[in-house]
Each structure stands twice: as C-alpha cells, then as structure tokens.
Amino acid sequence: MHSVAQRVRRTVRERELAGPDVPVLLMVSGGSDSVALAYAAHELREAGVLGPLAMLHVNHRLRAADADDDARFVAHLADTLDIPLFSCEVDVGALTRAEGGNVEAVARRERYAAAELALRSHCQHGGAPFHQGRLFTGHTADDRVETFYMRSIVGTGPGGFRSMRYLNGLRARPLLDLTRQQLRAYVEARAGAGLPCVRDQHGALWREDATNSETDYFRAFVRHRMVPLARERNPRVADTLGRTMNLIADEDDYMNGQVNRLWEQCVRWLDSGGRGEADRGAGFVLDPRVGGVHVALRRRVAMRALGLMLGSDARVEAASVEAVLAGFADKGVNSGYVTNIQGNLAVSANRHGVRVEPMAAFRARRKRDARD
C-alpha cells in the first residue's frame, strides 16, 4: 500500500507534474484506476505534496442505471475524502448519432471539454491562473502498453512510440509507472487496513464498466487479445516496455529541441487576406535551408507544421509528410515541384522554399502570376 503512494509521489516530483501550490482536478470515473488516483492524491494532499484538490465525474449516459450508480459512487468517494466534486451529464449516444462520429471519440471530447471548464473554476476559486492548474488522469502502465501496441498496428509518426506522456499541456498522468493490478491491490490494502474507503451497493471497492470486456473496440481488442499473449512471454512486459518508451521519450525530447531551434528560423506562416497577420489555415512556407538538414529533422518540421495547419482533430497522413519532403532535393529546393495532399492542400516548391496552402489559394495565386 505504501509503496504505491510513494511511487506516485516520486513520479509527481521527478516529472514535475504538480506541487503544493498547484490546483489539481482529478478525473474520476469510478473504475479501479481513477479510484486509486483519488486515494493516492488524497494521501499526497495530506502530506503537503499536492495542493488544492477537486474531482470531476462525467456521466456519459451510455450505461443506463449503471451510469447513475457510478455517479453516486463517485459522489460518496468525494464526500469521504473531503474533495469538492464537479459532476455533469452528457448524452454521448445522442451526440454520436447526430454527428455520425465514433462513440469513444465523442465521449473523450466531451469529457475533456467538461474538464477544462471545471479546472478553470477550480483555479479561479483557488486564486491561481488557469495555466498553472493540472488535470490528473488515471492512465496506467497498462494503458501505455496498449497505446504502444495500437500504434504498432496502425502506424505512428516520429516519437509516437513514446506512447503516453507524463505531462501533456495541463494534463498529467501520475500513475503511468504503476499497473492496474498494483493499483487494485493498493485499494484493497487500504480497505484491509481500515482506512477511509467507499463501497458500492454490492460491496465493491470500485465500479466495473462492462464495456471494458468487449472486444468490438480497438483498445479492448488489444487489451484482451494482444497484451495477454505478450505477458505469456514476458510477465513484466509493462515494466520492460515502460523503460523502452522512456528511452524513446528522452530521444524524442532531444529531437524536438532541435526542431524548435530550426522552427524559429525556417518556418513562415502565410498572411491571410493581405492584412499582414499570420493565419495557420492560410498555409506556410519552409525555408530552403530546411533542405540542408537531416531528413529526420525535415520530417518533424513538416509534420508539426501540417498538424498546426490541419488542426488538432486531424490525423496527419504519412503520405502528406513525404509529399512535403519531396519539395526538397540536393540539400535545397526541388523547384517546379507541385502536388496535392490531404485536405485539398497544394504543395509547391520554388527558390523561396516549399509552400503549403489551400488548393483554391494556390490556383488564385497562379492566375495572378500568369496575368502579371
């Protein structure tokens, strides 16, 4: 029991996830991972390691009466630990039907939208700027392993095999060094030691989501089919892959630092409407000097620029990145090169660099040049 709390404490300290003056919002579904997160965060708050805590529960209305029982369980947990609770309901099923999207994606979007509002309120109440707040999620070493295997199936960009980050913006994952089994044992040990614990109407220490056992969803397939096979060969696969992913993360951070330096000198956002204002939707130009750096840096610069132009909801296709890179040749620019990529974007190259812009803007510019 104490080793789990100490491991969370060490992760928070080493990864600089939060501190005693940082408002923290805990995302708690009622499952074993998030329940363990609540208990561990409560321990760290009492020890002075963490500052003001609040809790968020989002009822997605996907599991009928079970979802209402989840909400009641989390409310009891928050009351027992003396942690203020934000709660809301979102009819994810209705939203998915109206939008024609993916249930998991819609649920995730709505959950984090609610989390941002709750964290803003929590920071305001605590007198702290929003950017100093932290959103703690219950992602575990198991989740990280699953993400690794999922990306190995569908492919990923540079640094993608680092899998989940400990800190990504305001979102922090203090449980990434612990497995689900360790966290469940921690919750059970607390109950056995007589520490404050909550049980549902059936006496369970956490709520089980029946959808976790289904294999219709990609993650559930990896969780119940692929990972057990890996554990047969290596029972400590979570530790092994965790170390590997941290090595990848270190090298990814170094490469991103190199990209940051190159970015300031060699990426120019285009002006939208002649107002002298940069507009990411209008496109960008990569300086000819980009052609003289290692292809690994060129690829990362192109991928970052495309991601910013296409927006956070878009998945940058590998073919699009390679199409941008084809605009460079012989440590310079492949002048006269033109192609079309995802989002109906035009890629063109001349002595000024490699330019990416909406196809309509590219055609209008070509017509103007022809008239001139």
Annotated binding site: 29-34
Query: In 3D, which of 284, 266, 282 has the Cα closest to residue 332?
Result: 266
Tokens coding 187: 């919750």
State the Rg of the chain over Cα.
24
How far is 71 from 349, CA to CA, in rounded Å?
56
Q: Which amino acid appears at position 133 of this protein?
A: G
Long-range CB contacts (within 8 A, 24+) of 326-329:
327/286, 327/354, 328/286, 328/290, 328/291, 328/298, 328/354, 329/291
Torsion angles phi and psi, residue 167, rounded to 5: -135, 125
**Total number of residues shown for the chain:** 372
Binding-site residue positions for ATP: 29-34
DSSP for 19-71 reads -TTS-EEEE--SSHHHHHHHHHHHHHHHTTSS--EEEEEEE-S-SHHHHHHHH
* Phi, psi of 199, rounded to the nearest 5 degrees: -125, 150
What distance in Å separates the CA atoms of residue 97 and residue 101, rounded to the nearest whole number? 7
> Are 189 and 36 a contacting pair, CB within 8 Å?
no
In angstroms, the first-to-last Cα distance of the chain is 76
Residue 231 CB neighbours (<10 A): 13
Query: What crossing angle do the helices spanning 318-325 and 295-310 adopt, rounded to 10°?
Result: 120
Q: What's the rounded Cα separation, in Å, for the pair 98 and 91? A: 11
β-strand partners of 266? none
* CA distance to 11, 282, 306, 348, per residue, from 310 (Å): 34, 10, 6, 17
